[in-house]
Structure 1
Amino acid sequence: MKRALVTGGSGGIGAAICRRLAADGHHVIVHANRGSERAQALVDEIVAGGGSAEAVAFDVTERAATSAALERLLEAGTIQILVNNAGIHADAVFPGMSAEQWHSVVDVSLNGFFNVTQPLTLPMIRTRWGRIVNISSVAAVAGNRGQVNYSAAKGALHAATKSLALEVASRGITVNAVAPGIIETGMIEGSFDADAIKKLVPMQRAGKPEEVADLVAFLTSDRAAYISGQIVSINGAMI
């Protein structure tokens, strides 16, 4: 049984990924920051269904707290599957964007990636098997008005994905990014109605969190052992 950590695991996409990885037989560590109650509820659901899971809470932007939490988790064994899903939005047109909006978004998506991934890399290398999947966005591929901060953070994550993939390729570790488009989660409520989705998405519907989870499950499996350094879009043919 491999151990999998999903950051932001209490959210819509994160929860779907946790359920799917648990169904695939992994021990899933459901991470949350402010959503610890939701994370524990998800753990209870997974365990009740016969799966294996535990919850953990820390702020990915706080290096010391993150390192301490990861050290405790590593005492139970190597984490060989990592899904960096934590991310936030703070949308504003660029001329009106505050420094706080810029730094908070970059801090979670990009610095959070470093704070979580870097301490787990060497233990993963020692096992000569690992899967790292970074959850990105169509905004990093095509850009989006009002999301210069988010696009920049996720675009940098794409570059980090490709570089890290090169570094660990000979160690049996793959590193990929998944870039979802419009997905049915709480984050799109109030942003896209049915008519807007039909205009933006050639498939004329929003994607389901489970569809993203299926892609992540494939990329973290043995079947995807030769896929690394890739940015895989899942957006209903938006781009």
Structure 2
Amino acid sequence: MSSTALVVGASSKIGEAVVNYLASKGFKLILHYNKGFKRIKRIIESGNVRKQLLATVRANLIKDSLTEFVNRVISYNDIDLAILLSAIYDETPIDMLSEERIKEVLELNLVSHVVLTILLGRVMRRRGKGLIVIFSDLVSLRTSNPYLGLKPSIPYIVSKAGLNALIRFIAKELAPIRIVGIAPGWIDLPTLNKKLKEMIKSTVPAGRPAKIEEIIQVLELVIRNEYINGTIIEVSGGI
């Protein structure tokens, strides 16, 4: 019997790669998106994805009820794997941060993930199995900014550091459900301009950003190895 995966934030570039990988492995798919309707529509046009798709679910994770979102998701099928990708990247300087922007970043990047992890984890625990993978960020594991050329804001860094604490502490609370984090560094995305690529080449020991498929390889390891739990795996290239 096929396992079912929920991908939260499926319309992102990494989300697309995750969805295609899961479809290729035979997972039935429930895909969440908010504003990326055109992107999610293009993703599900892939033959493998269309074949494996159970549902797409639109939700604003800041404004909408997450309890209602989870209830809707589990009405389609039991969830064996949940991958949480939704995030706002923010570089607002501290002297320009508004209360609204601070709350927006923390609500999406941290609060929604905490709520979804608890709600989905409790449902999974009743079934006695499940895996939740949370995408964090390398910056939250360092004491200084590892990204020369970028200046992530304090709310962004705090939100990702909060996810790391969530992952480490909630695994015991939700056992035997596994909670695992993946913290990428630089990823080779279309948003990387020539200047950033040159800077990465000179500052990252690997001499390049991670390929998306290398992130997927780590995800595959996490799914396959049932002893990995309550930890955050770096994909940093050595920075």
Is the TM-score greater than 0.5? yes
Distance 1:4 1:135 in 2: 15
Distance 1:139 1:99 in 2: 22
1:160 paired residue number: 166
**Contact 2:44 2:50 survives alignment (8 Å):** no
2:9 paired residue number: 8
Amino acid at match of 2:114: F
Amino acid at match of 1:206: P
2:99 paired residue number: 99
2:228 paired residue number: 227
Distance 1:46 1:54 in 2: 15
1:61 paired residue number: 62
Amino acid at match of 1:204: G
Which segment is superposed worse, 98-107 or 41-50?
41-50
Which segment is superposed worse, 53-62 or 154-163?
53-62
Return the offset for 1:200: 2.7
2:220 paired residue number: 217
**Contact 2:5 2:29 survives alignment (8 Å):** yes
Report the 3-state secondary structure (helix = DSSP H, G, I; strand = E; otherwise coil) of the residue aligned with 2:6: strand
Q: Percent identity?
A: 25
Report the 3-state secondary structure (helix = DSSP H, G, I; strand = E; otherwise coil) of the residue aligned with 1:228: coil
Report the 3-state secondary structure (helix = DSSP H, G, I; strand = E; otherwise coil) of the residue aligned with 1:227: coil
TM-score (norm 1): 0.89
1:124 paired residue number: 124
Q: CA-to-partner distance for each residue in 1:62-100, whole Å, 9 max, x for gaps? A: 351x32232122122211211111001121232333323
Map 1:1-239 to 2 at 5 A.
1-47=2-48, 50-64=51-65, 66-142=66-142, 143-144=144-145, 145-169=151-175, 171=176, 173-186=177-190, 188-190=191-193, 193-221=196-224, 224-238=225-239
Distance 2:54 2:42 in 1: 11
Give the root-mean-square deviation of aligned CA atoms: 2.0
Q: CA-to-partner distance for each residue in 1:100-157, whole Å, 9 max, x for gaps? A: 3322111111111023222222220122111111100111112434422111100000
Amino acid at match of 1:6: V
Structure 1 residues 168 and 182, CA, compared in 2 at 3 Å: closer, same or farther? Answer: same
Return the offset for 1:179: 0.3
**Contact 2:182 2:233 survives alignment (8 Å):** yes
2:148 paired residue number: none
Structure 1 residues 14 and 7, CA, compared in 2 at 3 Å: closer, same or farther? Answer: same
Structure 1 residues 50 and 74, CA, compared in 2 at 3 Å: closer, same or farther? Answer: closer
Report the count of equivalent residues.
Answer: 232
Distance 1:207 1:6 in 2: 21
Return the offset for 1:211: 1.4
**Contact 1:7 1:85 survives alignment (8 Å):** yes
Report the 3-state secondary structure (helix = DSSP H, G, I; strand = E; otherwise coil) of the residue aligned with 2:45: helix
Flag as ranges the 4+ runs of structure 1 deviating above 6 A.
Answer: none
Q: Which runs of 5+ in 2 are unaligned?
A: 146-150
**Contact 1:7 1:30 survives alignment (8 Å):** yes
